[in-house]
Amino acid sequence: METATLGGGCFWCLDAVYSELRGVESVIAGYMGGTVPNPTYEQVCSGRTGHIEVARIEFDPAVVSYREILEVFFSIHDPTSRDRQGNDIGVQYRSVIFTHSDEQRRTAEEMIRELQPDFRAPIVTEVRRAAEFYPAEDYHQQYFARNPGQPYCGYVIAPKVAKFREKFAAKRKEPRTKPAG
């Protein structure tokens, strides 16, 4: 297993998408990159801790490559928007790839160079060495799966999930079916 840690707006969106990607074993919403140990959601939202909302993704590289993880990342958020994704504004929503190895850093930097011509504005995604990860509170975990009728889920998360499902249909996990009876 390998680990990828990504920040691309609200961690609920990343969690919802990566939970459907074949080869991903787990996704944990959390915080990384700040100065306060064990921050709370309220502290992170204040913008004073320096933390970023991230998803820590455990994946099987024999099934899905790190590059494929990043392909999904760059397709489901705006990497040209600094400290903001849509109406989510603040340093905690910045676009960042926290790398866990030199190979991940090289892959991330290479992809940014390759993708830049596809965007009108400069890609502002930061590539930083992974720091201490702090899991978010339990109510943030699998938020979309547990709250699909919540308005934010319908207006913000569902379109990203739909985009992922369309663009990466061949890489989706098999949908779970309920047992008959």
φ/ψ of residue 91, rounded to 5: -60, -25
User: Which member of 10, 13, 45, 153 is catalytic?
Assistant: 10
Q: Beta 126-129 vs 95-99: how paired, if at all?
A: parallel
Examine the residue annotation and report whether 10 is marked as an active-site residue of this protein: yes
- What are the catalytic residues? 10
